[in-house]
Amino acid sequence: MMQKPVFSFFKSYWAIGILLILPILSAWVSSRPVKEKDKPKADKPNIIFLLTDDHRWDALGVMGNKVIQTPNLDALANSGVLFRKAYVTTSICCVSRASIMSGQYESRHKINDFSTDFSADALSKTYPILLKNAGYRIGFIGKLGIDVKNQPDSLFDYWSSPKEGQPQYELVNKSGKIVHHTDSVNTDIRTFLNQFAHKEPFCLSVSFKAPHELDGNPPKYPVQERFKDLYKNANIPDPVTADPKYWESFPDFFRTEKNIGRERWVPLLSTPELRRETTKDYYRLITGVDEVVGNIQAQLRELNIDDNTIIIFMGDNGFSLGEHGLEGKWFGFEESIRVPMIISGKPLAKKVKGIKSDKIALNIDIAPTILSLAGVKIPESMQGQDLIKMLAKNKRGRNDFFYEHTFMGSPRLPKVEGVVSQDFKYMKYIEHGYEELYDTSRDRHETANLAKEAAFDKKLAEMRKRYLELREAAK
């Protein structure tokens, strides 16, 4: 809470003198000719960035999912731009969130675990602090996801983030009542908007825990009471690659019960019944987030600031729900690295309304896009690009990108790097020299590894070369 200023009492004749002078000063100021440099700058948009945790690309109605209910996010996408090929450059929360804030690959920002945070200099070049220096009010709500020992809360105008790596789903509020994390985030958003709506411009960054599992033995998906019966009778189809033969096709270093992706698969996805109920809970948590999105839009209208507010939505990484016999993210499969991404808002209506883009968009593009929307210069240190400019007809966009995941290592999480293009995917498990090559234009479920097929020797050589080029460029 901001403190009220303390005023000293002057002697009465000083007070009377000031009261007499003020009208004269006011008349003089109002009669002065307004110089160009004194004119107020054009309104800058408010920006709300919403981030879900472990949200795979196809867990939205607008992305073709016939089961999940996300009406508010679908409407947001239909009124703005939906990036149907959005990806993260590293599929784990601490790294991806650092990439989002800095606009950099892991190879450059060097945050590759849960105990490393931004240096003071690196933090000063993240999008929230650059916006603050440009006159924006900045707020952060939810899970930070980067080292929590040195939270940058003092730099923000509003901060509501627990000092723990993974917040709980069930929180106890000041009244002793248990509140779901998503509902708590909703309350904080409402508080922020009421406080800063008319102190524009502002940038609010919101990070949900949903739909991330609650870690434990076994892991769980605590959902809000009002959503527990949602999807009760829904038909959840089994993934193509849930067939055991796909897990059995992995090499020995990967196909081990010590692999975290397999370890977490056992209690949540190892039977058709478990897989269906876990998927329903996962969807329920996302529908809870969708409800908050609807509340935000309603409040923006109530406050009469919807005309000048842009909303950006994405997931911090994807999530396997049994594909390839795995649970989680980390590896280079489409379920792991591909995420939902939406940019919408009335200030952009003429540029992006109703666009469904198949250009490759990345998490490292968020920071430069936000800065560009705010009219703030993009630092040369950022490796992403302005997505709105990329959508221009004369902008082709990127053909491919570098993927890296080097946290932990074998046998728990084998390290992997590679290249993802519009039509092919090359992944190399760098501790073992094992390669994967998928023709994603024809094999969207990544069922056939072509790396040892003689017919694809030329393509494999091409992707190997491109991998080395991109790996060097990412530094």
The per-residue pLDDT for range 328-364, each reduced to its tens digit, is 999 999 999 999 999 999 999 888 889 999 999 999 9
Q: Which residues pair with 434 in a beta bridge?
A: 429
Residues 82-92 have a mean pLDDT of: 98
Phi, psi of 324 (to 5 degrees): 60, 20
Alpha-carbon separation of residue 269 from 88, 112, 204, 323, 467 (angstroms) = 24, 28, 36, 10, 33
pLDDT of the residue at 446: 98
Can you give the pTM of this predicted structure? 0.89
Q: What is the pLDDT of residues 19-57, one digit of tens each?
A: 333 343 333 333 334 333 333 345 799 999 999 999 999
* Overall fold of domain 404-473: Arylsulfatase, C-terminal domain (3.30.1120)
Q: Flag whether pLDDT at 284 surpasses 70.
A: yes
Q: What is the pLDDT of residues 113-146, one digit of tens each?
A: 988 989 999 999 999 999 999 999 999 999 988 8
pLDDT of the residue at 148: 66
Residues 193-206 have a mean pLDDT of: 94
pLDDT of the residue at 167: 87
Residues 450, 454, 455, 457, Cα dihedral to 10°: 80
pLDDT of the residue at 146: 87
**Which percentage of the chain shows pLDDT scores above 90?**
80
Q: What three-state secondary structure class fits 343?
A: strand
In eight-state DSSP terms, residue 96 is H
pLDDT of the residue at 403: 98
Residues 369-397 have a mean pLDDT of: 91
- Give residue 14's pLDDT band: very low, low, confident or very high (50, 70, 90): very low
- Give residue 379's pLDDT band: very low, low, confident or very high (50, 70, 90): very high
Residues 140-161 have a mean pLDDT of: 87
pLDDT of the residue at 428: 98
Q: Flag whether pLDDT at 13 surpasses 60.
A: no
pLDDT of the residue at 175: 82
CB atoms within 10 A of CB 457: 12
Residues of the chain with CATH 3.30.1120: 404-473
Residues 263-288 have a mean pLDDT of: 97
For the chain, the residue count is 475
pLDDT of the residue at 15: 38
Q: Flag whether pLDDT at 445 surpasses 70.
A: yes
- Give residue 163's pLDDT band: very low, low, confident or very high (50, 70, 90): confident
Phi, psi of 83 (to 5 degrees): -90, 110
- Give residue 280's pLDDT band: very low, low, confident or very high (50, 70, 90): very high
pLDDT of the residue at 152: 84
Asked whether 305 and 44 are in contact (CB, 8 A), the reply is no
DSSP string, 316-331: SS--EESGGG-EES-S
CATH architecture assignment, domain 46-398: 3-Layer(aba) Sandwich (3.40)
pLDDT of the residue at 397: 84
Q: Flag whether pLDDT at 452 surpasses 70.
A: yes
Q: Flag whether pLDDT at 3 surpasses 90.
A: no
In eight-state DSSP terms, residue 7 is -
Q: Which of 127, 170, 186, 173 has the alpha carbon at shortest distance from 152? A: 127
Higher pLDDT pick, 10 / 306: 306
Q: What three-state secondary structure class fits 178?
A: strand
pLDDT of the residue at 394: 62
pLDDT of the residue at 350: 82
pLDDT of the residue at 27: 39
CB atoms within 10 A of CB 321: 23
Residues of the chain with CATH 3.40.720.10: 46-398
Residues 161-185 have a mean pLDDT of: 87
Quote the tokens at residue 162.
């627990």
| Range scoring the smallest mean pLDDT among 134-143, 387-396, 445-454 | 387-396
CB atoms within 10 A of CB 473: 11
Q: Angle 148-177-203 (CA atoms, 0-180°, nearest 5)?
A: 45
Q: Tokens 């490393």 label which residue?
A: 116
Residues 84-88 have a mean pLDDT of: 98
